[in-house]
């Protein structure tokens, strides 16, 4: 039993500044709200805070097809009408619109999950958090379900460089189909997705036995936990009935295994509740109980009038009978009994952590202004967080 977990937290203010469109339910602004809520509870003082690198196209192509990555890199709202065939081929459009800074958005959230995996691999932390990640629907050659780049697959690929087996757990209201599809033909990754599960929260009503049995049978070297918050009561798109405490109970349970853990966000479309949920779960990972009254912060108006951290579950009728749930549990446990116990992997040379294109300072134009992210790469820092006047999101308007 570890005396105290070392936790790395990844955040870049730019990830919350993009805009999917006026009628689109995905609001990356929720990430700014989450971060400020984390800061208001002083949780950043108990973690190591990092700005993630922007994932290079060659890193994204470790899973995605190079032509798809290249198209995401060059398409813009002003040019999309010239590429109607490609837009259809890559499933870009209504659910997955092209917006300003789309590719940079993908680079940031994917870079956060990749960096999180690398810190875990190098034993620099026990738990790594990237609330911007968790976009589990993206496929190898196309966007899907508001997701463009599947950061979870890229993070798992990194973890597989150091771990024989990785367990992926998904508590989003939607099935984590992109991750399951990516690793369908390998026994080195097991995916467990809890979706369409009524008003009972995992790990309630005996379902902890399923996850416990999975861990006991599969013996993963690392766990990736996708914490989509669209399974909360009152979500704009979700139809579940979870309270925040119920959702957080899953995080608490998985943490108790004391296995290297990568935690990401995911869905969640009532943004004030998303911020509440992921802040509570950051506290859970830090073993910190948070008072219910939300401290003053830049986004306090979104939590009015009561400014409470926790929300009650809803009053939706649970249509899952006990016999139905019992049948599912029996079937899953039987499936586990039939699989190979802790499948092994042949020894091989570990691939390098990442690829960084050559950077020659002598060739840089002294009159060219570098963006903040590039400047940061010239500064070796292990303690970085956003607060006060230097906060990228200080004057962020509602998206």
- Annotated binding-site residues for substrate read 95, 145, 269
Instruction: Name all contacts of 194-200 with Cβ < 8 Å and 24+ positions apart.
Output: 194/169, 194/170, 195/170, 195/231, 197/231, 197/240, 197/320, 198/240, 198/241, 198/318, 198/319, 198/320, 199/240, 199/241, 199/242, 199/313, 199/314, 199/316, 199/317, 199/318, 200/318, 200/320, 200/325
Distances in whole angstroms, Cα of residue 307 to Cα of each of 71, 196, 301, 342, 388:
43, 30, 8, 47, 21
Q: Point out the residues that are catalytic.
A: 137
Binding residues for a divalent metal cation, by number, are 172, 174, 230
- Nearest Cα to Cα of residue 102 among 143, 163, 47, 158: 143
3-state secondary structure of 304: coil
Question: How far apart are the C-alpha atoms of 373 and 131, rounded to whole Å?
Answer: 19
Enter the tokens of residue 234: 């009152």
Question: CA-CA distance, 249 to 232, in Å (whole number)?
Answer: 13
360 class by beta-carbon count within 10 Å (0-12 exposed, 13-18 middle, 19+ buried): exposed
Lookup result for tokens 């499933």:
91
What residues form DSSP beta bridges with 189?
166
Give Cα separations from 209 to 213, 241, 281 (angstroms): 6, 22, 22
∠ CA 172-175-178, rounded to 5°:
110
CA distance 221 to 181: 21
Tokens 């309270």 appear where? 243
E strand residue ranges, the chain: 7-10, 48-50, 127-130, 166-170, 189-193, 222-226, 261-264
Measured distance CA(232)–CA(241) in Å, rounded: 6
């Amino acid at each position: 039993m570890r005396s105290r977990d070392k936790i790395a937290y990844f955040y870049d203010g730019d990830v919350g500044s993009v805009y999917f469109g006026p009628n689109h339910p995905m609001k990356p602004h929720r990430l700014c709200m989450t971060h400020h809520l984390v800061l208001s509870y002083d949780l950043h003082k108990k973690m190591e805070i990092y700005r993630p690198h922007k994932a290079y196209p060659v890193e994204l192509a470790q899973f995605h097809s190079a032509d798809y990555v290249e198209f995401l890199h060059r398409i813009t709202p002003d040019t999309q009408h010239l590429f109607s065939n490609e837009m259809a081929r890559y499933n870009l459009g209504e659910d997955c619109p092209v917006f300003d800074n789309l590719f940079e958005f993908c680079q940031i959230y994917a870079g956060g999950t990749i960096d999180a995996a690398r810190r875990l691999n190098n034993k620099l932390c026990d738990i790594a958090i990237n609330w911007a990640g968790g976009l589990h629907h993206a496929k190898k050659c196309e966007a899907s379900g508001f997701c463009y780049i599947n950061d979870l697959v890229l993070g798992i690929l990194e973890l597989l460089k150091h771990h024989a087996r990785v367990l992926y757990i998904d508590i989003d209201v939607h099935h984590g189909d992109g991750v399951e599809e990516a690793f369908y033909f390998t026994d080195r990754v097991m995916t467990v997705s809890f979706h369409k599960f009524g008003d009972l929260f995992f790990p309630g009503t005996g379902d902890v036995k399923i996850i416990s049995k999975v861990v006991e049978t599969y013996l993963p070297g690392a766990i990736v936990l996708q914490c989509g918050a669209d399974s909360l009561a009152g979500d704009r798109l979700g139809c579940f009935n979870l309270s925040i405490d119920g959702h957080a109970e899953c995080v608490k349970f998985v943490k108790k295994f004391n296995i290297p853990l990568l935690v990401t966000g995911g869905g969640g479309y009532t943004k004030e509740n998303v911020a509440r949920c992921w802040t509570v779960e950051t506290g859970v990972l830090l073993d910190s109980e948070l008072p219910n009254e939300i401290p003053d912060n830049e986004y306090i108006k979104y939590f009015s009038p009561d400014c409470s951290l926790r929300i009650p579950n809803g009053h939706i009728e649970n249509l899952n009978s006990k016999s139905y749930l019992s049948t599912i549990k029996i079937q899953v446990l039987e499936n586990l009994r039939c699989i190979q116990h802790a499948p092994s992997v042949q020894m091989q040379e570990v691939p390098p952590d990442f690829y960084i294109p050559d950077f020659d300072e002598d060739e840089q134009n002294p009159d060219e202004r570098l963006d903040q992210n590039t400047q940061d790469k010239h500064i070796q820092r292990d303690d970085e967080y956003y607060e006060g006047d230097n906060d990228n999101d200080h004057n962020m308007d509602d998206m």
